[in-house]
């Protein structure tokens, strides 16, 4: 269920400006009824300024009046045609200290199983630098003797979906190998 923006501030405004029950406000704002009661008692959200959901277009005044008359009715969020923001594209991501020693292993696995991936793609996928990728490729990495290729998905460096997507995109970017039509096909006798 969709919730209003700033649910506690909306709850503060509804408590102060309407005759809705605590259960109705709690249901609309995604809070517990006791939390709404504590807001009404002044124990919770004392410094929060109320946010008018009518002015924001989240609910209509007639909807509030309908629910004030009938305590069993529930407020419904107004459907807007405003496009919702999309999730940010994945960029550089933080890798915990405990997983950093696994990066060279993940890089080695990708280089072994998917040599078609570019350094930039590997860098985005694993969250590493191009220098580290080159050092693993050339076996000049400071820990090259201990690097064992391990799947980055099982190491938690990336998701299976991200890896498959990167492989599919790299396959499209590369031109197909030229086919020599004069050479006999495998299985042809003549």
pLDDT in tens, 35-62: 999 999 988 888 888 889 998 888 999 9
Angle between helical axes of 7-17 and 22-29 (0-180°, round to 10): 160
Q: Give residue 94's pLDDT.
A: 73
Dihedrals φ, ψ of 172, to 5°?
A: -75, -30
Q: What is the dihedral of CA 6, 7, 13, 18, to 10 degrees?
A: 150
**What pLDDT is recorded for position 190?**
47
Segments of the chain with pLDDT less than 70: 1, 82-85, 87-93, 172-190
151: helix, coil or strand? coil
pLDDT of residue 187: 54
75-102: per-residue pLDDT in tens?
888 877 766 667 666 555 677 787 888 9
Count how many Cα atoms sit within 13 Å of the Cα of residue 22 in the half-sphere of its side chain: 10
> What are residue 83's phi and psi, to 5 degrees?
-65, 140
Rounded CA separation 38/30 (Å): 15
d(CA 41, CA 95): 44
């Amino acid at each position: 269920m969709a919730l209003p923006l700033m649910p506690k501030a909306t709850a503060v405004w509804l408590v102060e400006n309407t005759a809705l029950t605590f259960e109705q406000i709690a249901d609309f704002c995604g809070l517990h009824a006791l939390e709404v009661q504590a807001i009404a008692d002044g124990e919770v959200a004392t410094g929060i300024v109320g946010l008018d959901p009518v002015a924001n277009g989240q609910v209509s005044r007639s909807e509030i009046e309908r629910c004030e008359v009938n305590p069993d009715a529930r407020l419904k969020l107004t459907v807007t045609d405003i496009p919702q923001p999309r999730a940010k594209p994945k960029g550089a991501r933080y890798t915990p200290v405990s997983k950093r020693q696994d990066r060279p292993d993940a890089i080695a696995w990708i280089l072994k199983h998917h040599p078609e991936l570019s350094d930039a793609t590997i860098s985005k996928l694993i969250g590493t630098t191009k220098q580290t990728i080159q050092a693993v490729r050339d076996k000049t990495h400071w820990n090259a003797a201990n690097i064992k290729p391990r799947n980055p998905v099982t190491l938690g460096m990336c998701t299976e979906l991200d890896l498959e997507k990167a492989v599919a995109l790299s396959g499209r970017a590369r031109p197909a190998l030229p086919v020599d039509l004069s050479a006999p096909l495998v299985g042809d006798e003549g």
